[in-house]
Structure 1
């Protein structure tokens, strides 16, 4: 198994230095999403106090020309602290700081360019339009926060199920034979044993690190494809969903770095008869959670059915191109061209859990988001359609 050279360094020697006292100083690691819409970047600064709230943290800057976010001739970008967590790697009193990114003129870096495709109805037609219009504008948090503030009395709750795949540094799935494939899918989902669970050490370290950091992680399990795992974050209300999932992803990348392996959020890392990776999103509102809430759920599903193409564009960073490899109608997915819903149906776009059908209240699960989705735009899209009752293929601009 190919692992990174850094994983071979002596961790015991490193720990000697990590155990040194740091006086009254605090290390704050600033984290942001780069211009790819998927990658995370970070850098650290020293503070002479322990920040307790976001307001305590100073703004910072970085070179956007090296992160696909600006040109070299005007490369300074601003980091605006947005959420603060405990640092599980350096430990207290040190912090992880999730940031928004602003341009040199202090405008947000924007949102993905929306497709201006015509009224063609098939995915094969739509993707021809999308290839040329996706741009790497990645500060989706600001718009999401605005939308969430408009519906805060509805108390929208989210829970996201983040699937991922562990790889060696050579891109080969962790634990797979160097030449060939493991046995067919079947024994790996929630499996136990060296021949079924590949990479549990990474999973356990990540889980504990998230708990220490204050991430609202609520579970984990081995997935259907060997070397594929899932963790769940939630329930989180409003903007917190995106904040907690992005920090959980950062922590996973950082844990994998220590083990010398790579985490992939590719929605179809291995072609063929293997499950892809999604980020199933559970959603409810105050009305849905109360008696008779099933009627509200069904009304929301009707609205989602009429906006299928808008949601498909929102549910992966490439506007649907990545998800087209995963949403084939096979391997527990719906077909990308068709909207469907059903009770306990994992082959549908929207699944109503059996317990919700029985209790007549609760939540529903949108199974369309890809593993590499941006949680800000996924949660925002659900609120726009289900609560703000938007229609059509473009989001409403409330700033006008």
Structure 2
């Protein structure tokens, strides 16, 4: 760590960095930032930077408001969009109390605690997200509602289109920040795009996702358009998910791989899936944390609505992708429920905790869904035992309220704050009189 700190201090001097942004997130997943001068960085490493945690959503109670932000030198990067004028760098921070204890409500710490639990069981957790988002001409609706930047569809090539330039600039910027990109392409909705980040350990990936969102927003501003990770911004069009591929490794060995097993999926992998399925409703308030999230889950267009798993079945909540012969390292599972607006630290902590619970308790994996789940009738789904995901934020709140797994993983303070925050959001939503109601009822009642 000392070598890494020395590298940071040396790079700041050599590159003429004028500002260093210290980044962390609140419980909802909003990125927070404080800029310090280069002369303050060494002190920040040794003592941290103090701030009022009670002013940040969910981080502290008012009577314990003082917190310290400790920059993680391994996350140091120059921000490429700042250019050569006043070069600026960033580091993610771990938050502590003044007496040096990890802040219990720091989302990054919640994930680190869960990763430590996995490590105690001999596992390293890797993730690979496919992040979808929309590009709109403006964040203000026009006469016909929100306008996407194009009318293209899945994998479409649009000569001279905004999305091409946007993705190219975004990918280059991400690579400059040390974030490897695997694919980028136009998605199924008009103006919808997807960029897939290459596999990394869970903590690095959560940091990368927060950086990714910032890059996408910055490039959109430069291109004169608006980028949104809202789960379902356009009625009648696909929502934006963050399908996440996951695997556990024991040293260099993929714990999800077993030669000769069905789909080459090991008993560990099967139990991990069983944990994700059994606890899916309990963790939904974090993997799908907004009122709008449930319009994606229940709006069709390949979003999962039922708690099932399958091999290459894109209607399932958890999918076992096609195995590449001779590549045991690539054996993995894909969670298709999480959306692009989730707090990655809390969501990945809960997804990992649910999978680990399945391994610890030796959950039995139910029969796979071989048919298109959406094409079945409700009675057929009932007969097959396919449970529904929550259909609203209110349902998700009720499931999480009863969850010991979520309370234990998040800790009392984060657990309580998430519930109170989401109850408030739902009450505000429920009290609205919407354009739909006025259009549907005003003249006829």
TM-score normalised by length of structure 1: 0.72
2:182 maps to 1:218: yes
In structure 1, runs of 5+ residues without a counterpart are: 1-20, 112-138
Q: Secondary structure at the match of 1:41?
A: strand
Structure 1 residues 23, 145: CA separation in 2 closer, same or farther (over 3 Å shift)? Answer: closer
| Equivalence map 1:52-131=2 (5 Å) | 56=45, 59-62=48-51, 67-68=56-57, 77-82=67-72, 83-90=75-82, 94-102=88-96, 110-111=104-105
Count, aligned residues: 339
- 1:351 paired with 2:319, answer yes
Residues 38/143 of structure 1: CA separation in 2 closer, same or farther (3 Å cut): closer
Which residue, 108, 112, 135 being the options, matches 1:145? Answer: 112
Map of 1:38-53 to 2, 5 A cutoff? 38-48=29-39
- Tell me by how many angstroms 1:254 deviates: 2.3
Instruction: Specify whether residues 106 and 43 from structure 1 end up closer, same or farther in structure 2 by C-alpha distance, changes over 3 A only.
Output: same
In angstroms, what is the RMSD of aligned CA positions? 3.8
CA drift of 1:207 comes to 0.8
Aligned partners of 1:339, 1:357: CA distance in 2, in Å? 28
Partner of 1:311: 283
Q: Distance in 2 between matches of 1:323 and 1:141?
A: 23
Correspondence for 2:3: none
**Of 242, 245, 248, which residue of structure 2 is paired with 1:279?**
242
> Is 1:243 aligned to residue 207 of structure 2?
yes
Q: How far did 1:45 drift? A: 1.9
SS in 2 for 1:99: strand
Structure 1 residue 170 displacement after superposition: 3.4
SS in 2 for 1:305: helix
Q: Which of 118, 122, 129 does residue 160 from structure 1 map onto?
A: 129
Choose which of 172, 176, 188 in structure 1 pairs with 2:153: 188
Native 8 Å contact 1:28 1:96 kept in 2: yes
| C-alpha distance in structure 2 between counterparts of 1:186 and 1:347, whole Å | 25
Q: Provide, for residues 47-67 of structure 1, a one-character-per-residue CA deviation record: whole Å limited to 9, x for no partner.
A: 14998xx99576224455665
SS at 1:89 equivalent: helix
Match of 2:404 among 376, 382, 394: 394
Determine the C-alpha separation between the residues in 1 that align with 2:137 and 2:321. 36
Supply the distance in 2 between the matched residues of 1:380 and 1:322 (Cα, whole angstroms): 22
How far the C-alpha of 1:187 sits from its partner, in A, is 4.8
Alignment CA distance shift 1:253-1:77 (3 Å)? farther
| Offset from partner CA, 1:192-248 (integer Å, 9 cap, x none) | 1259x5433222211111100112332211111111111112311132121111111
More helix by share: 2
Partner of 2:6: none
Instruction: Report the Cα offset of residue 142 of structure 1.
Output: 0.3
Kept in 1: contact 2:163–2:186 (CA 8 A): no
Instruction: Indicate if the aligned counterparts of 1:147 and 1:384 stay in contact, CA closer than 8 A.
Output: yes
Separation (CA, whole Å) in 2 of partners of 1:178 and 1:199 = 23
* Aligned equivalent of 1:373: 342
- Residue 310 of structure 2 is matched in structure 1 by 342
Which has the higher mean CA deviation after the structures are superposed, 353-362 or 151-160? 353-362
C-alpha contact (below 8 Å) 2:132/2:242 kept by paired residues: yes
Choose from 294, 300, 311 the match for 2:272. Answer: 300
Q: How much has 1:148 moved relative to structure 2?
A: 0.7
Structure-2 change in CA distance of 1:364 and 1:96 (3 Å): same
1:122-165 deviation line (CA, Å, top 9, x unaligned): xxxxxxxxxxxxxxxxx211021111122233222110111111
Match for residue 122 of structure 1? none
